[in-house]
Amino acid sequence: MRVIEKYSDRDFNGFDWLNFDYLPESDGFKFELYFQESEDLVSRSIFYFYLLFKDFIPDIIISTFKPESEWGNFCLDTWDIESDRYDYSPENKQEPTASYLTMLRDSEIESDYSGFCKCFDWDKFLYVTLHCVMQHVAPYSMMFYVPNKEVVFYFHHTGSIGLYYKELNKGVRSIIQKAQEEKMEILNSNNPAVRDL
């Protein structure tokens, strides 16, 4: 069953104000959201995804961490260090890599695809990819773009959510308000206006 599909829109190619060589030097603002420690970081991260971003879900576009990265290389163990070769066969992998590669195959996403995707099944997509992140099988989260709000967010293996945005618009304010209602910590903001909310 297809979980994601390729997304191509000539009007959206990511945000040119993001600096993927060093994200903190992006021409925008950032903050990190931390929730109370949990034994199941995957379930808690999924819970907060729906809580914080549910109003944006129809608009979210996903990519690998760096725009030119290939979807097949999301998990580190697709590369065999001894032979210096890549193997994208789910049959030869342990979990959660096997589930991730199976999801790509079932969704007809080639391992060398480096574009954007839209999601049809958020429960499955988040469950699979967040397990890769939380178990350190993937070095970085996927990037979740909300083009019409100029917001991008990602999940960290510690259970935090990083968020970059161009300006403190209504969409960003709604995310902050929901985070505050949930008693989440808002840390590492480079925008003084966020601290005053």
For the beta sheet containing 116-119, the strands, ordered from the edge strand earlier in sequence to the opposite edge, are 4-7, 116-119, 61-63, 143-146, 151-155, 160-165, 29-34, 185-187
* Residue 163, phi then psi, degrees to nearest 5: -140, 130
Kindly state the tokens that stand for 67: 């725009």
Kindly state the tokens that stand for 160: 């935090």
- Measured in residues, the chain has a length of 197
**pLDDT at residue number 173:** 95
The domain spans of the chain are: 18-195
Estimate the crossing angle of helix 97-106 against helix 122-134, to 10 degrees.
150
**pLDDT at residue number 13:** 86
Residue 133 half-sphere exposure toward CB, CA atoms < 13 A: 26
Residue type, 164: Y
Helix H segments across the chain?
41-53, 97-106, 122-134, 170-181, 192-195
Q: Going residue by residue through the chain (197 aa), what tens digit of pLDDT does each one get?
A: 799 999 987 778 889 999 988 888 899 999 999 987 778 899 999 999 999 999 999 999 999 998 789 999 999 999 888 888 899 999 989 999 999 999 999 999 999 999 999 999 999 999 999 999 999 999 999 999 999 999 999 999 988 999 999 999 999 999 999 999 999 999 999 988 886 66
**pLDDT at residue number 82:** 81
Cβ-based neighbours of 148, under 8 Å, separated by 6 or more: 59, 171
Residue type, 196: D
pTM above 0.85, yes or no: yes
Kindly state the tokens that stand for 6: 């390729």
Residue 187: helix, strand or coil by DSSP? strand
By CB atoms closer than 10 A (0-12, 13-18, 19+), residue 45 is buried
Residue 193 half-sphere exposure toward CB, CA atoms < 13 A: 8
Give the DSSP letter of residue 166.
Answer: S
